[in-house]
């Protein structure tokens, strides 16, 4: 379960210990009961202690931050006398977390509504009066368009940016779909537990990986296993589910960040393993969003007539480039593969157009510098640091939470859906804390998120495919279920779209 109305999730932490703050300065962004709050400093002073970090779920009424200050109006919040004071300034505790909204609440608009608001120049006061019909009570583009239609100033904008532009005709969307005829996934034989990893890792992030990430175990490849072998197993399962043979496939796309060899690509090795010597085959790398990018390419190929049956595969082995002594990454990653067969058939599971985007300003947040043209081989055998994945966990938590929420909102708005219409969300399995925060932001119950991060870990591009195939094998989906697929990955890359079971 996610945070309830008696709890708050720390979405973004903007301070650190020893930092000086001014009265009114924003300390953190919090969320509770589908509402976003900015917590402001009640006085000038210096931060001496922070009780919760980004992603933490805290009880309402509990202390959040301690501030050293000379402001005597804060004496009612003075810390216990038994606690040591290391400064001439008084130590006070921040006001307990409260559910009361700030004087200027953060507006809840979908991305399209926000763009329309910017174009039209409509006041925030007017927007606050709108009763939002979007996920979590957000104001949608259609809500704002209706407001503009009622005002003289908005007539021109509404006619140009109104319902026709903001919500595409459902029959037109239907003609863009292709059939997902079969899906499958595979994992290596070896299970790697948290206790095994903890033997090599020190630091606070090693103490409770389940609380921090939701991950209890992951699978990692061993002798005789490879990216190609994982992809082959998943592909054969997908082909069997589709009642097709390998020779019926005329295009193969493989999403991966690490093929078995730099040259040839993973798709060529897989095509060869399947006996498809002359099939169109290529790799695609969009990090954790890769499989959804590949699905969209495959869908486009079918609609354009480039291919009839497309095998869209993702196979990943991030354990090979994970520093086993790094507490920030050692517990996160696992290996695995997933596959889907896309066809021109009518009926069946329908894959709609996916929206692909990103934000390269944060390309540094997840990276592996070694192994490319700038540093193809280690400079010395003793320094392999650049050849492991590194990530800024705090930045990723914030950006992923916001980006996931936005792309889910955009998907629902594009198809004229509300959060109540969604049967399931199948997200990239980045971190359970991120997914819980996203659930709250979009107003979709956490028990409608397919979560497999506890059993598989973060398998990069393979995670959405594996979660989808695992849920299908478990019989979670029913005919007609509306499923939102979504991912945020390194780059940063974003992808989301609708699948109807």
Point out the residues that are catalytic.
288, 428, 458
Determine how β-strand 178-186 pairs with β-strand 7-13.
Answer: unpaired
- Domain check: are 486 and 444 in the same one? yes
Domain-embedded: residue 44 = yes
The domain tally of the chain equals: 3
- Domain check: are 120 and 228 in the same one? no
CATH of the domain at 48: 2.40.50.100
Two structure tokens written together for 60: 């309402």
pLDDT: which is higher, 172 or 335? 335
Residue-range definition of the domain harbouring residue 272 = 178-500
In the DSSP assignment, the letter for residue 288 is: B
Lookup result for tokens 């696992």: 334
- Domain check: are 328 and 438 in the same one? yes
Give the span between the Cα atoms of 140 and 82, in whole angstroms. 52
What proportions of the chain, in percent to the nearest 5, are helix, strand and coil?
35, 25, 40
Residue among 346, 342, 294 nearest 315 (CA): 294
- Domain check: are 374 and 475 in the same one? yes
Position 244 pLDDT exceeds 80: yes
pLDDT: which is higher, 72 or 164? 72
67-76, 114-123, 129-138, 448-457: which has the highest mean pLDDT?
Answer: 448-457
Give the span between the Cα atoms of 492 and 449, in whole angstroms. 22
Q: pLDDT (tens digit, 9 = 90+) per residue, 468-501?
A: 999 999 999 999 999 999 999 999 999 999 999 9
- Domain check: are 140 and 20 in the same one? no
Please tell me the least confidently modeled range out of 87-96, 155-164, 217-226.
Answer: 155-164
The CA-atom distances, in angstroms, between 79 and each of 85, 98, 383 are 9, 19, 47
Helix (H) or strand (E) holding 434: helix 432-442
Q: What is the mean pLDDT of the chain?
A: 84
- Domain check: are 52 and 136 in the same one? no
Helix (H) or strand (E) holding 184: strand 178-186
Q: What is the mean pLDDT of residues 399-422?
A: 93
Domain-embedded: residue 98 = no
Domain-embedded: residue 268 = yes
Q: Quick check: pTM over 0.95?
A: no
- Domain check: are 207 and 324 in the same one? yes
Domain-embedded: residue 104 = no
- Domain check: are 276 and 304 in the same one? yes
Contact 6, 393 (CB under 8 A): no
- Domain check: are 256 and 154 in the same one? no
């Amino acid at each position: 379960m996610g945070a309830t109305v008696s709890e708050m999730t720390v979405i973004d932490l903007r301070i650190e210990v020893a930092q000086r703050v001014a009265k009114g300065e924003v300390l953190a962004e919090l969320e509770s009961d589908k509402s976003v709050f900015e917590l402001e400093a009640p006085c000038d002073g210096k931060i001496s202690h922070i009780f919760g970090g980004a992603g933490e779920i805290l009880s309402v009424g509990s202390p959040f931050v301690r501030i050293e200050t000379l402001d005597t109006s804060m004496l009612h919040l003075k810390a216990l006398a038994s606690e040591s004071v290391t400064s001439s300034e008084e130590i006070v505790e921040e006001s307990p977390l409260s559910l009361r909204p700030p004087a200027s609440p953060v507006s809840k608009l979908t991305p399209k509504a926000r763009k329309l608001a910017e174009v039209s120049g409509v006041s925030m006061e007017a927007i606050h009066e709108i009763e939002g019909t979007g996920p979590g009570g957000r104001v949608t583009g259609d809500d704002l368009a209706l407001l503009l239609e009622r005002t003289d100033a908005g007539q021109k904008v509404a006619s140009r940016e109104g319902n026709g532009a903001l919500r595409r005709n459902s029959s037109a969307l239907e003609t863009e779909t292709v059939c997902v005829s079969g899906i499958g996934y595979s994992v290596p034989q070896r299970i790697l537990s948290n206790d095994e990893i903890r033997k090599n890792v020190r630091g606070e992030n090693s103490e409770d990986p389940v609380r921090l990430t939701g991950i209890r175990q992951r699978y990692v490849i061993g002798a005789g296993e490879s990216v190609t072998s994982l992809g082959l197993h998943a592909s054969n399962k997908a082909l069997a589910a589709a009642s097709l043979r390998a020779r019926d496939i005329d295009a193969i796309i493989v999403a991966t960040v690490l093929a078995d060899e730099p040259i040839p690509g993973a798709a060529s090795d897989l095509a060869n393993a399947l006996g498809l010597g002359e099939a169109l085959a290529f790799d695609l790398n969009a990090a954790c969003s890769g499989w959804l990018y590949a699905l969209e390419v495959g869908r486009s190929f079918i609609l354009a007539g480039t291919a009839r049956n497309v095998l869209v595969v993702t196979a990943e082995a991030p354990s090979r480039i994970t520093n086993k002594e790094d507490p920030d990454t050692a517990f996160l990653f696992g290996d695995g593969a997933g596959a889907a067969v896309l066809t021109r058939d009518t009926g069946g599971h329908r894959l709609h157009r996916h929206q692909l985007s990103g934000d390269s300003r944060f390309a540094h947040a997840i990276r592996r510098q070694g192994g490319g043209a700038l540093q193809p081989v280690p400079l010395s055998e003793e320094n392999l640091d650049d050849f492991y994945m590194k990530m800024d966990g705090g930045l990723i938590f914030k950006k992923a939470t916001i980006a996931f929420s936005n792309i889910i909102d955009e998907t629902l708005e594009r198809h004229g859906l509300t959060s109540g219409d969604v049967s399931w969300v199948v997200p990239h399995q980045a971190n359970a804390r991120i997914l819980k925060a996203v659930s709250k932001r979009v107003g979709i119950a956490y028990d409608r998120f397919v979560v497999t991060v506890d059993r598989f870990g973060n398998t990069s591009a393979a995670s959405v495919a594996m979660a989808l195939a695992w849920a299908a094998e478990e019989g979670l989906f029913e005919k007609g279920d509306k499923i939102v697929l979504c991912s945020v990955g390194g780059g940063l890359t974003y992808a989301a779209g609708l699948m109807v079971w």
